[in-house]
């Protein structure tokens, strides 16, 4: 699959442009410098090319930290969109990025995008405003306003032209460049692998979610610090294990509702929408050293209400001293309200428990996509009714006539009864158990 990376200094509008190109609200956008703190990847469809992976680099306040991600994108992606803010112009950061692009012989693989032209210029003066940027020597220089969605189509046209030049070898012989293997360009209409298992890592800030993502994917995809709230947007990574393809989502740490403001509120709403849309298996991370809190329990209830399969990862087990092992039992006791949820003690930092966790993910996936034969279901209900019958008030008995499974993910069952008005809480709990 063709990969296209967006690079540039902090707050030049990369994330806004990224969202325009993929035609959805994926990267969080504000006027606050450093809003995007991780590499964000998203697959989209470009007419005439097919499946394309767009990669947005983070804009961090410390350029030294930011540079690690920018350098990675320049090294690894097929094409680059080098974004410059016209209202600021070319600074030392842009010069540094430009020098590395030249050093890596990626000039012919780069499209220069001059954003925010609308700040100081009217639309009819866009071409004139671009004149000074041609001095950098790029063949394709596109002036846009990502915020107002001006000239986005020109970027897509330029991408198609560069792809054609690089795949056909029609660039000048004296130009040293990275060619694109035509097999990397997905055919239009190519289907996404329906057998891919999707995971999401969820939990409070600083529970070790990003560390687990990096441990599982063996890539430095998420920025890992001891500072709570380091991840703001959700991060996506892919990996393969025992022939099975996985997509994994690392989410921002979720605080108490009363403490979520601004960017964090946007991130929280995005996480909920992603979970509802993707319907992944959720690995809920709990910092065992900090213990389980009321917020952990309310988050578990929210996820359970969505009908998503859950696994609880008790992280930082390596920090638990022998004399405090009863803490583990105490947490498990708190979780008895959801005793069907598997619990895996682990250390994301050292990788302890990782294989047990992934084995459990595969097992939960099988259960979540299983269909149970109708005869088997009704036989089980009949057997359970004889062994431990549900309780009803006198002359208020509700009899189950028939049960059948109507859907998977989440497994959904339809139950026929003789008196629907007599269904009580006890019967619902009896069926669930």
Each residue of 299-324: pLDDT tens digit?
A: 888 888 888 999 999 898 887 765 45
User: 308, 282 in Cβ contact below 8 A?
Assistant: yes
Beta pairing partners, 286: 314
At 334, the pLDDT band (50, 70, 90 cuts) reads low
pLDDT at 99: 94
pLDDT at 381: 87
Whole-number average pLDDT of the chain: 79
DSSP notation for 129-167 = HTGGGGGG--S-EEE-BTTTTBSHHHHHHHHHHHHHHHH
Q: What share of the chain is helix, strand, coil (3-state, %, to 5)?
A: 40, 20, 40
Instruction: Looking at mean pLDDT, say which of 26-30, 53-57, 274-278, 363-367 comes out highest.
Output: 363-367
pLDDT at 365: 93
Mean pLDDT, rounded, for 12-21: 85
Query: Could you give the angle at the alpha carbon of 269 between the alpha carbons of 266 and 274, nearest 5°?
Result: 120
Write down the residue that tokens 């993502």 correspond to: 213
**Residues in the chain, how many?**
433
Sequence spans of domains, the chain: 2-167, 197-369, 374-432
Mean pLDDT, rounded, for 205-232: 67
Q: Alpha helices of 207-309 — where are they, by DSSP H?
A: 209-217, 262-278, 294-305
pLDDT at 175: 44
Regarding the domain delimited by 197-369, which CATH topology (the fold level of the hierarchy) does it fall under? Rossmann fold (3.40.50)
At 179, the pLDDT band (50, 70, 90 cuts) reads low
Instruction: Looking at mean pLDDT, say which of 119-123, 175-179, 273-277, 307-311 comes out highest.
Output: 307-311
Identify the weakest region by mean pLDDT among 40-49, 180-189, 398-407.
180-189
Same fold, 2-167 and 197-369: yes
- What pTM does this model have? 0.56
Helix (DSSP H) and strand (DSSP E) numbers for the chain: 12, 14
Identify the weakest region by mean pLDDT among 99-103, 181-185, 336-340, 395-399.
181-185
> For helices 354-368 and 209-217, what crossing angle results, to 10°?
90
Domain 2-167 CATH assignment equals 3.30.70.1400: no
Q: Which CATH number fits domain 374-432: 3.20.20.70, 3.40.50.740, 3.30.300.20, 3.40.50.1110?
A: 3.30.300.20
Instruction: Looking at mean pLDDT, say which of 208-212, 351-355, 411-415, 425-429 comes out highest.
Output: 351-355
Residue 289's nearest CA partner among 337, 342, 226 is: 226
pLDDT at 194 over 80: no
Task: Give first-to-last CA distance, the chain, whole Å.
Answer: 45
The predicted-structure confidence for 126-145, as pLDDT tens digits, reads as follows 888 898 899 899 999 999 98
């Amino acid at each position: 699959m063709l990969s296209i990376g967006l690079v540039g200094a902090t707050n030049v509008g990369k994330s806004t442009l990224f969202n325009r190109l993929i035609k959805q609200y994926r990267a969080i956008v504000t006027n606050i410098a450093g809003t995007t703190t991780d590499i964000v990847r998203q697959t989209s469809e470009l007419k005439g090319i097919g499946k394309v992976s767009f990669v947005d680099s983070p804009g961090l306040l410390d350029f030294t930290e930011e540079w690690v991600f920018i350098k990675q994108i320049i090294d690894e992606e097929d094409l680059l969109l080098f974004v410059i803010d016209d209202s600021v112009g070319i600074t030392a950061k842009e010069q540094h990025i430009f020098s590395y692009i030249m050093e890596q012989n990626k000039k012919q693989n780069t499209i220069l995008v001059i954003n925010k032209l609308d700040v100081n210029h009217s639309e009819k003066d866009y071409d004139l405003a671009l004149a000074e940027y041609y001095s950098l020597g790029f063949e394709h220089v596109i002036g846009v306003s990502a915020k107002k969605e001006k000239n986005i189509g020109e970027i897509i046209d330029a991408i198609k032209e560069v792809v054609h030049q690089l795949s056909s070898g029609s660039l000048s012989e004296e130009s040293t460049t990275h060619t694109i293997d035509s097999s990397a360009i997905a055919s239009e209409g190519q289907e996404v692998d329906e057998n891919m298992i999707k995971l999401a890592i969820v939990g409070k800030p600083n529970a070790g979610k990003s560390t687990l993502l990096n441990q599982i994917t063996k890539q430095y995809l998420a920025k890992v610090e001891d500072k709570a709230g380091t991840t703001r947007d959700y991060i996506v990574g892919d990996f393969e294990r025992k022939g099975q393809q996985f997509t994994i989502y690392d989410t921002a740490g979720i605080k108490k509702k009363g403490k979520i403001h601004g960017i964090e509120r946007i991130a929280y709403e995005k996480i909920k929408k992603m979970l509802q849309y993707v319907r992944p298996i959720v690995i809920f991370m709990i910092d065992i050293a900090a213990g389980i809190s009321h917020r952990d329990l309310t988050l578990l209830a929210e996820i359970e209400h969505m009908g998503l399969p859950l696994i609880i990862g008790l992280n930082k087990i390596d920090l638990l001293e022998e004399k405090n092992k009863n803490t583990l039992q105490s947490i498990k006791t708190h979780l008895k309200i959801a005793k069907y949820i598997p619990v895996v003690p682990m250390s994301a930092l050292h990788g302890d428990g990782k294989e047990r966790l992934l084995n459990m993910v595969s097992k939960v996936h099988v259960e979540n996509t299983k269909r149970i034969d109708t005869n088997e279901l009704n036989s089980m209900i009949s057997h359970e009714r004889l062994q431990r019958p549900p309780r009803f008030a006198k002359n208020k008995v509700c009899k189950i006539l028939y049960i059948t499974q109507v859907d998977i993910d989440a497994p959904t069952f339809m139950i026929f009864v003789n008196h629907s008005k007599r269904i009580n809480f006890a019967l619902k709990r009896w069926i669930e158990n």
